Amino acid sequence: MSKNAPERIAIPDLEKKLAGKSKPVVVDVRKTAEIEESGAVPGALHIPVEKVAERIREIPKDNEIVFYCGGGGRASRAAQDAWDAGYRDVSYFGMRDWKRRGLPTAK
């Protein structure tokens, strides 16, 4: 990968990665109320967007990280924070795209 910034990941590509052996770390950056209202990607970590810069080091740098929010805006900012902290295998998506494909959510 010779990217120079985080990129949006297509949901079909994310589905393939989640079905594979080395699954990415999925991080929900929404507010708790949003998660309670619309559910979360099963197994996702919850790190609110304003906490990403201080908590990103909880995730090993050799992990692929995929951030998400409702539409992708806050997730792209979170991915940029991770990028700025030295993480390079970083992408993001929006929960709306996930749900549009009829994928499962957890409370």
Q: What are the backbone dihedrals phi and psi of residue 98, each rounded to the nearest 5 degrees, phi first?
A: -60, -50
- Catalogue the E-assigned strands of 7-76: 7-8, 25-28, 45-46, 65-69
Would residue 69 show up in a list of annotated catalytic residues for this protein? Answer: yes
Q: Which residue is catalytic, options 9, 44, 52, 69?
A: 69
State both tokens at 56: 């990103």
Catalytic residues: 69
